[in-house]
Amino acid sequence: MYGIIQKSGMTDMREAELMEQQAVFHDIAGLMAMITRAGRESPTYQRIALYIEKNYLQIIFLTANELAVKMGVSQGSVSRFFMTLGYKGYNGFLRNLQEVVSQSLTGPQRLQLNNNAAVNPQHRRGILTQELRNMESLSEIAQGEAYEKMVAAIISPLPLYLVSARLSATLLPHLGYELNKMRANVHTVTPESPRWETLEVGRTDDCNVIVVSFPRYANSLIHFCQRMHRRHFPFLAVTDSRLSPIVPLAASTVLTPITTSSLFDVYSTPLMFFNILMQDAAKRMPDLQQRMAEIEAVEIENNVYFSR
């Protein structure tokens, strides 16, 4: 059998106590809801919660001390965090996590995780592996009510505003370029744009707004979203975590993972997400073929692209 999950070292008495303890969560969604609540209690707890959210599969191979070292917090903080969740300690949480993960973990995933635990991979390889995992999650992300609302915003005839700041805003030119080929009235808004200070002044039903926000979360963008929220101006959001400060402000949110174990955050998964989003939107735009043909004709006439 691939990747057998090893039990952590526990006495028979301790193991018996944990067997009597009921699971605090029954699926990954329950885990995420639980750590999100605990993460709001302190910066240290938020740091632990964010790590668990992004690395819960790897955690099943770690002791409490190893987990503390990886997160850069004390082992005491780790123990107190899991006690806050309702466990007697880390081992109770670990057992619960192993039970839930083992129900959905495939053989290849077990092998990969086991290999990662046994041999520390090269850093570059680790980044690539994490990014592949992120992209594999897009199949599940690209469905559901929040995703459908985003598709609806793209195919709507109303003006569409793409809003972001700092590093996250580097995604907007790419997204805006492609969307402008698909439809009219697509605008990018950043702190340097005149609309940054006036967008929320308009009517809430005469445009659609999509906010893109990834760590490190820019205060300027948070303040923008707070202004929109205070004026009851609904907007959709794409961010990476339930703990993102944008989530409680947005009318609807799609969570898209990013890889942060590099000099700069890796945005290939959000780019792939937007590509999938536009593919799904294109299927529902009956006039798109004609628009694309007209744009192509203009580009040929203007000799836009190099040709031999």
Mean pLDDT split into 10-residue runs, the chain, 308 residues:
29 36 70 90 92 85 80 91 90 77 62 57 60 87 94 97 96 97 97 93 88 91 96 94 87 86 76 97 96 95 92
Q: Are residues 143 and 258 in the same domain?
A: yes
Residue 32: inside a domain:
yes
Nearest to 45 by CA among 80, 70, 69, 95: 80
CA angle 27, 49, 9 (to 5 degrees): 70
Domain for residue 23, yes or no? yes
Task: Find the angle CA(257)-CA(86)-CA(57) to the nearest 5 degrees.
Answer: 30
Q: Last residue of some domain: 120, 150, 167?
A: 120
Contact between 201 and 154 (Cβ < 8 Å): no
* Domain termination site, one of 120, 147, 171: 120
> Do 41 and 158 have their domain in common?
no
Query: How far are the Cα atoms of 138, 180, 257 from residue 151, in angstroms, in the given order?
Result: 15, 15, 19
Residue 131 in domain: no
Domain count for the chain: 2
pLDDT of 271 reads 97
The residue segments making up the domain with residue 49 are 12-120
Asked, for residue 88, whether it belongs to a domain, the answer is: yes
Query: Are 266 and 293 within one domain?
Result: yes
Q: How many CB atoms lie within 10 A of CB 192?
A: 8
Task: Let me know whether 164 and 227 are in one domain.
Answer: yes
**Which residue bears the tokens 């699971």?**
23
CA distances to 109, 168, 269 from 130, in Å: 12, 19, 10
DSSP string, 161-220: EEE--GGGGGHHHHHHHHHHHH-S-EEEE-TTSGGGGTGGGS-TTS-EEEEE--SSPPHH
CATH number at residue 40: 1.10.10.10
pLDDT value at residue 151: 98
Dist. CA 177–CA 298, nearest whole Å:
16
Angle at 48 between CA 47 and CA 52, to 5 degrees: 120
pLDDT at position 9 is: 35
The CATH number of the domain holding residue 240 is 3.40.50.10490
What is the pLDDT, as a whole number, of residue 259? Answer: 72
The reported pLDDT for the residue numbered 22 is 44
* 116 plus 143 within the same structural domain: no
